[in-house]
Chains A and B, each alone.
Chain A
Amino acid sequence: MQSRIDTFKFDSASSIASQVSKGRVSAMEITEQHLARIKSLNSDLNAFITVSDNLARSQAEKIDKKFKNGETLGPLAGVPIAIKDNIVVRGVETTCASKILKGWTPPYNATVIDKLIEADAVIVGKSNMDEFAMGSSTEHSAFGPTKNPFDLDRVPGGSSGGSAAAVAANLVPIALGSDTGGSIRQPAAFCGVLGLKPTYGFVSRYGLVAFASSLDQIGPFAKTIEDMKLLMTVISGHDSNDSTSLNFETTPVLNPSKTDIKGLRVGIVKEFNEGLTSNIAVSLKNAIEKLQVAGAVIEEVSIPSVKFCLSAYYLIAPAEASSNLARFDGVRYGARENGDNVEQMMIATRTKGFGDEVKRRIMLGTYALSKGYYDAYYKSAQQVRTLVIREFSKVYSSVDILLSPTTPSTAFKIGEKLDDPMEMYLSDIMTIPTNLAGHPAINVPFGSDDSGLPIGLQIMAPALKDGKLLSIANFLLSQEGN
């Protein structure tokens, strides 16, 4: 087992920002240092599809100039950040890890990118992912799999595997991913870092290449709660370019008044306790004990509809994807294959441009929306969704948060599940319900298995309790290994 986890020492985003803001180190020095880290490890990890060194250096130069001019720097001053390759950055190739977008350079910034630049962060590259965010291992990337820094023979999880691996290996202190059914939390669990799927609508989706619009949410990866909070404060908030963006003050959400563990009512979802590996079951038990010791009240709860969630998800997400991915037709941008007429051109482009997993989901989704099948598939899946929301809200009337493992197992071997899509889909069984409900959930690293691979626990909470999740995650982090 080859590890790349201790190659570089960890420097947090908040300490970098504070040092750069005080002029103790220049943004350029930090940038060069992290570009060098990426250069030395990316051939092993394949965490980045594109390293945006030109953009990074020009941003660093601007930040240093601002400092010299006596201007106050933003909250992420000089902090290197990795951006999942499905979030558009003006002038930097955005591929979504697909051949079909190879060479496409977006002419605009995602809202989160504008906010990061405004906050003086430095974008060092576009991280690897499963093609169009469809997958749980980053193996479905047209540019090869990302390796897990703990064990190069293992997957980092997915679909935001590149971002998780980059943070885990200290190539960057923070990164952005996107989570449709667990695509932030599951790789965070496999790579032993924090990963938050915010409340749906808390972070603008403008500029996130859509996989399943009603489920997609951009979120942060980091190693400390302070860094998570810092990054969330920068990227969250209302955006008039996103009709589904929520409109409210973000600060109270991220700084909840009540953070006490004493009296906290913690629900353990019965349905998630089946089929766990013994190591993971032990970690969960440890966490429960620590919470109890600190005064939390533990209660077993049942959400029966979670057993339908996987099926509902694999109808809704592909259905929306089949429509969202229709635009990749070779007419306007990206790759184009030749054809005798426009229809043949589109068919050839899509046949060659999309990978198998993407095609599988487009077909599934097309079928689910077809005449005569819509009611049986798409509509009933939406009914499951309504049911899940109802059951969650009932449970949240008696508990404040829910605790579960993030994944049923730790990081698996590269290639292990590639030939069995159903087995792969099961990796997301505990993360999917919160996407269907639109609720926030976070992965907290908590212990490791016998092979030294990280174990992740998931904390879930009602909508807009993102800040509360961070506080409780903070408590668990402080207890890890005690």
Chain B
Amino acid sequence: MEEEVYEPVIGLEVHCELKTITKLWCGCKNEFGVEPNTNICPVCLGLPGSLPVLNEQAVKFAAMIGLALNCEVKPSIFHRKNYFYPDMPKDFQISQYDQPINVNGFLKLDKNVTIGVVRAHMEEDTGKTTHIGSSGRIHESSGASIDYNRAGVPLVEIVSAPEIKSAEEAKKYVSELRAILVATNTTDGKMEEGSMRVDANVSVRKIGSIEFGTRTEIKNLNSLRSLVRAIDYEISRQINVIKNGEKVKQETRHWNEDASTTVPLRSKEEADDYRYFPEPDLVEVDLGNDIVRQLKQSLPVMPLERRQRIIELLKNPNEDSAFIVVDLDLDGLLLEVVKQGADAELALKRFSNEFAGYVEEVKALQPERLVELLNLEQTGQLSATQAKAVFAEMLTTKSSPSQISTGLGFGGLEDSELSELLKGIISNCPNEWNRFKDGDGKVQQFFIGQVMKATKGQANGKVVLSLLEAMKNS
């Protein structure tokens, strides 16, 4: 019998908290990590008689996200999503339903892959429950305390089309989305702190089939790593279910990081009637064409394009390094130092590694200084190790790279001194020298290593190599 082959179909729902000054419906501060229940008022506590008033900044932020994701920004309304939950003060969530602010967008992962964005709508966040008791499960705990600081914090939920084809592609989508959101400066995109939360809808189907399989929704994906692992787990779980002749159940599943499995939370059929209806306490939201146009103009260059600008400078494109540099918002500086004469390849290498650990300090340096440092390394006047040491000094002193270099005693080794040193090493290692002369490239590293050891890393590898070549030919 022919083995049946399955393919996964993945859609992602990404919730991100907006970095507005105040909450969505009231004047309470929207801030993270303060004393529980200090940023609360009658409105965000849903006290009887209180009414919501929409935060204009939140609407603008939501529209910016939509525009950054190539959506149409439309007049929209809010609905109530009704269900009982203790951390939801009104026992309904104000959310957008069939008339969301942003629809029909897309997100480009690279030149070849584009994922549809069905919608990006606004809604309010809930409070946070801490269960008192060991299991952490609400039905088994002896009590709970609720912090409503987060209640009413503005969220945008971005819903992808079911067009993602693998866990790796899901990771790429989330990384790209995060980069875009951070670039718009509307959210800080921290998955670990929960300011960005991802739910994955996963189903599998036979390759070639047009119909979707039954999907499950996976929650509690707190990092890109758990996103990938959970999706991979869920794909193989579903394939196994089908191969065993059973049916996949439509349900919400919880990713258990420790056990590396997904477990059912609740069956969708039981809890799916949210009795949506238009929120009577709010009116239609319409920013108007002029404001939407202004917001569109105010958008920064998107990360994909920023990476492209770097990659265009390179002989050997390095997407990952470019991603890091853009993610750290160091790409502007990188482009500047290249413009001022630094080698693009070397600059990208240093920016994405050594410099990446000191983003703020590097941004404070004059570009000329970085150009000088990179050129000293590029021309062989400093070894990689030496350049690192000079860089470290640059972060704390005002001196120029060459001054620092002299101060550290770099560049003090003349070629003649190195030649003497090399001659000594060659006479101690005749076998290696013969292999080198016979063209065994691997022994190069041996000699460079010996010189470095003898000079405590002060020699320049490139110079050593040229001396070796010269001796071989003499």
Contact = CB atoms under 8 A, between A and B. Distances in A.
Interface string A299-329: 0000000000000000000011011001111
Interface string B203-214: 000000000000
A96 B49 CA distance: 11
Interface of B: 42, 45-54, 80, 82, 84, 86, 89-92, 138-139, 144, 146, 272-273, 275-277, 280-283
A329 B51 contact: no
Interface in A326-355: 326-329, 331-333, 341-343, 346
Nearest to A213: B280
Given A243-B282, A322-B275, 14 more contacts: A106-B42, A207-B49, A212-B280, A214-B280, A243-B52, A244-B280, A319-B277, A323-B82, A326-B90, A329-B86, A332-B46, A341-B138, A341-B139, A369-B275
A68 interface: no
19 contacts: A86-B49, A88-B49, A106-B42, A106-B48, A108-B42, A213-B281, A214-B280, A240-B53, A241-B51, A242-B51, A243-B52, A244-B283, A323-B275, A326-B82, A326-B91, A327-B91, A332-B46, A333-B47, A346-B84
A366 interface: yes
A87 B49 contact: yes
Contacts of B50: 108, 206-207
A343 B48 CA distance: 21
Q: Give the 9 A-B residue pairs with the shortest CB-CB distance, closest first.
A: A326-B91, A369-B275, A213-B280, A214-B280, A209-B48, A207-B49, A88-B49, A371-B273, A331-B86
A159 to B, nearest CB: 16
Contacts of B48: 88, 94, 96, 101, 104, 106, 209-210, 327-328, 333
A205 B280 CA distance: 12
Contact of B42 (A94, A107, A212): A107
Contact of A331 (B47, B54, B146): B146
Most interface-central of A212, A327, A366 (chain B CB within 10 A):
A327
Contacts of A208: 49
A207 to B, nearest CB: 4
B49 A206 contact: yes
A104 B92 CA distance: 21
A88 B51 CA distance: 13
B80 to A, nearest CB: 5
Contacts of A244: 280-283
Given A243-B54, A326-B91, A370-B273, A110 B82 contact: no
Contacts of A101: 48
B138 A342 contact: yes
Nearest to A366: B275
A59 to B, nearest CB: 21
A206 B89 CA distance: 17
B92 A108 contact: no
Contacts of A207: 49-50
Contacts of A96: 48
B138 A106 contact: no
A374 interface: yes
A323 B273 CA distance: 13
A400 B86 CA distance: 50
Interface in A81-97: 86-88, 94, 96
B24 to A, nearest CB: 12
B277 A323 contact: yes
Interface string A233-272: 0000000111110000000000000000000000000000
A369 B82 contact: yes
Could you say which of A101, A212, A320 has the most chain B C-beta atoms within 10 Å of its C-beta? A320
Q: Chain B contact residues: over half helix, strand or loop, or mixed?
A: loop
Contacts of B51: 205-206, 241-243
A369 B51 CA distance: 22
Contacts of B280: 212-214, 244, 320
Contact of B277 (A87, A106, A327, A369): A369
Contacts of A104: 48
Interface residues of A, number: 46
A374 B92 CA distance: 17
Interface string A188-228: 00000000000000000111111011100000000000000
Contacts of B277: 319-320, 323, 369, 374, 378
Interface string A16-44: 00000000000000000000000000000
Contacts of A341: 138-139
A342 B89 contact: no
A157 B459 CA distance: 100
A21 B444 CA distance: 104
Contact of B53 (A88, A110, A243, A331): A243
Contacts of A108: 42, 47, 49-50
A478 B53 CA distance: 43
B45 A329 contact: no
Nearest to B46: A327
A333 B86 CA distance: 12
Contacts of A242: 51, 53
A377 to B, nearest CB: 11
A341 to B, nearest CB: 5
Contacts of B281: 210, 213, 243-244
A389 to B, nearest CB: 15
A86 B48 CA distance: 9
Contacts of A206: 49-51
Contacts of A240: 53
Contacts of B283: 243-244
Nearest to A205: B51
B282 A342 contact: no
Contacts of B52: 243
Given A326-B84, A369-B82, A106 B49 contact: yes
Q: Which of B46, B51, B53, B272 has the most CB of A within 10 A?
A: B51
A219 B364 CA distance: 63
B46 A209 contact: no
Contacts of B138: 341-342
Nearest to A345: B86
A110 B42 contact: no
Contacts of A378: 277
A209 B91 CA distance: 15
Contacts of A110: 49
A333 B49 CA distance: 13
Contacts of B54: 243
A340 to B, nearest CB: 9
A208 B42 CA distance: 13
A320 B276 CA distance: 11
Choose among B49, B50, B91, B138 the residue with the greatest number of A CB atoms under 10 Å from its CB: B49
B91 A329 contact: yes
A374 B278 CA distance: 12
B47 A106 contact: yes
Interface in A275-304: none
B82 A329 contact: no
Nearest to A88: B49
Residue in A87, A104, A206 with the greatest tally of chain B CB atoms within 10 Å: A206
A87 B42 CA distance: 14
A184 B138 CA distance: 44
Given A243-B283, A369-B275, A326 B92 contact: yes
Contacts of B46: 327, 332
A418 B276 CA distance: 32
A247 B385 CA distance: 70
Contacts of B86: 329, 331, 342, 346
Contacts of A370: 273, 275
Nearest to B43: A241
Nearest to B275: A369
A280 B92 CA distance: 45
A321 B146 CA distance: 25
Contacts of A241: 51, 53
Nearest to B140: A341
A60 to B, nearest CB: 25
B355 to A, nearest CB: 49
Contacts of A374: 275-277
